[in-house]
Structure formats: C-alpha cells, structure tokens
Structure 1
C-alpha cells in the first residue's frame, strides 16, 4: 500500500511572493528531514517550473475570464519512493489539445532526446517575444526523469480544471 504524506498544500492564486514562501516552507522540511542537496535541488526546480507555468497561464487568461471561484492548487506529497508534485489550475478548453500534445510528445522522448529538444526550444525562445510553457514542461520531465501525468475536469463550457503531476525520485 502506498502511503502519501502531504508536505505542502496550498490553494490560492500564485505570485512570486507565494512562490518564495512555499520554497522557504519546503526548505525547512528538507533541513528537518535530512534530504540531500541534489534531491532537494531537483524538487526545487520542478516546483518552480510548475508554479511559474501555473502563474503565467492564469495571468494570460485572467482579464478575459472570471476565475475567482476556480482556485489553483499546489501540493507536494512524500511517498516511500520520492515526492509527488502536483499543480492544478483552470485552462481554456481551446488550449487543452496543445497542452496534451506537448506533454505527450515530451513523455515519448528518451532523456537524451529531451535534452536535445530542450536546447532547440531554448534557441527558438531566444528569438521569440512570446513566452510559452514549452521549456518549463520539458525541464520538469528532464529534471525529474519521469513521465508527466495530467488530467482535465470540466468546469463549464469554456474552462477545464487541469492537473499536472510528476514523481521526483532521489536518483
């Protein structure tokens, strides 16, 4: 039987002050539980990428849609084999195919292929003014060395509640 212990759970619209608060909260947990620096850095990178993706997407649609009743959520769960990191937020139905296709593409690549894709996307973004979640999702999979899991739940005829989760293991 898998036991999951909630380390961090926060429901709110995220900003960089809250990101900093959550990083400090997790840092205290790491110190109290003697988690190695390499493992801690992996979790920290994934945590930052997930929260930044959440924040940037919400900012991009918040002016057009009433979102106050649909609160994003972030949590870190401790399992025997590592940590499960989950982030949820509302997304437009029209954006789901793009999200699915990016994640499915990432999940079908080897670690070496992920590294190459990451370099390519970084080069493309250097010459683009548009900010995308492309590198964030790739970096999450590359650092965690696991497949990204995702799901969507219908909220209304325009929005879905999108959940992204990934396991981060010590090695």
Structure 2
C-alpha cells in the first residue's frame, strides 16, 4: 500500500471525518458535535452550515436506527454491526456518504422510497413530508421514513444510493448526498 498516495488522496478530498464501527447513541451525539465544530472552522455561511448540519444529522441517525437489523452470524467476513460514515468538503459542496448492512427483505422497500423521493420536485417533497408527518405510521424506532424526505428537502439534491448483495440474507447499502456550498446569491451573480 502506498501510504503517501493514500495521504495525498485524503488531503485532496479534504476529508473532514471518517468513521467505521458500531454506531451507538453516545457516538451519534459525539459525531454530530465533532462535525459541527469542523464545519464551523471551514464554512462561514450560516444557512449552508444549517443545511449541512440537518442533512448530516439525518444520515447519522439513519445509521444508528438500522444497526440492530443485522445478525452477526449471517455475515462472517465483515463486521456486520459496523456502519461507515465519510464526510468530505469540496469547494462547491460537502459530500456525506454512509454505508451499512441491511436485510435483503428491505431492499425493495428502501429503493422504492428513494426512487419516489427522487422523482418529486420541491413542492411535492414538502407535501410528502407533511403527509408522512400527519399520517405516517411510526416504527418501533420512532421513524416513519421522514429522514430521506428531510435530506432531499434540506439539500435540494437527488439522493444517490446503491445496494450490493453480500449473501442471500443481506446487502450493503451505500447512501451519498451533496450539500451545496454555493449560496443563492453566488448563483445569481454567476
């Protein structure tokens, strides 16, 4: 392994945070606080920080809420309870990527939700958010699928995802979003 090349790649991508491991409630709080501090160091625009913070919090909570759905015995070559979080900063956007194992029985449901969210415009997302909030059935984890909708609303971006089947029971779910660092004012001036 060429560590110099790896270090250069991390530096060039401006890696703000990378974590792989079990995601606990205390860790969620710690990661959010760490990211809040790191973003405050490099981003001055209050609205961009707010969008980033909201989207990152939803992504991290999503990892936390779904860690217990995997059995250690079913995935023998990987740390089945490990989640992956990587946050990078580019000149025009922040990139947040998560990864975790999920039961194959949930792949089609998640894919359907994400595809539906990606097909909606800003007003339709707002309507879906309100509909889920008022009519949604909350799971035992306290979620009703609001997280993905909220991320799409906060970022104004399409949600990028992939599923990689690991075995007959589980797949690895990667989820990636971008939070623009370009303000509306900068867009108008361009």
Conserved? CA contact 2:103–2:171, under 8 Å: yes
| 1:157 corresponding residue in structure 2 | 168
**Cα separation, 1, equivalents of 2:125 and 2:138:** 23
* 1:9 partnered with 2:39: no
**Cα separation, 1, equivalents of 2:116 and 2:92:** 26
| Structure 2: gaps spanning 5 or more residues | 1-11, 184-190
The match for 1:30 among 18, 28, 39 is 39
Conserved? CA contact 2:43–2:49, under 8 Å: no
| Structure 1: gaps spanning 5 or more residues | none
Shift of residue 55, structure 1, vs aligned partner: 1.3
* 1:87 partnered with 2:98: yes
Q: What are the residue-to-residue correspondences of 1:82-161 with 2, within 5 Å?
A: 82-125=93-136, 128-130=137-139, 131-132=142-143, 134-161=145-172
* 1:21 partnered with 2:30: yes
The match for 1:57 among 37, 46, 66 is 66
Shift of residue 109, structure 1, vs aligned partner: 0.3
Range that drifts further, 67-76 or 37-46: 67-76
Q: Find the residue that maps to 1:152 and give its secondary structure.
A: strand
Conserved? CA contact 2:132–2:144, under 8 Å: no
Q: RMSD of the alignment, in Å? A: 1.7
**Cα separation, 1, equivalents of 2:138 and 2:42:** 42
Higher relative CO (Cα under 8 Å, sequence separation at least 6) belongs to 1
Range that drifts further, 24-33 or 138-147: 24-33
List structure 1 segments (4+ residues) > 3 angstroms apart after TM superposition.
none
Q: Find the residue that maps to 1:109 and give its secondary structure.
A: coil
Q: Find the residue that maps to 1:69 and give its secondary structure.
A: coil
Q: Find the residue that maps to 1:120 and give its secondary structure.
A: helix
| 2:5 corresponding residue in structure 1 | none
Range that drifts further, 22-31 or 6-15: 22-31
| 1:69 corresponding residue in structure 2 | 79
Shift of residue 40, structure 1, vs aligned partner: 1.0
Shift of residue 90, structure 1, vs aligned partner: 0.2
Range that drifts further, 31-40 or 108-117: 31-40
Q: Cα 1:169–1:57, aligned 2, differ >3 Å: closer, same or farther?
A: same
Question: TM-score, structure 1 length as denominator?
Answer: 0.88
| 1:167 corresponding residue in structure 2 | 178
Shift of residue 31, structure 1, vs aligned partner: 2.8
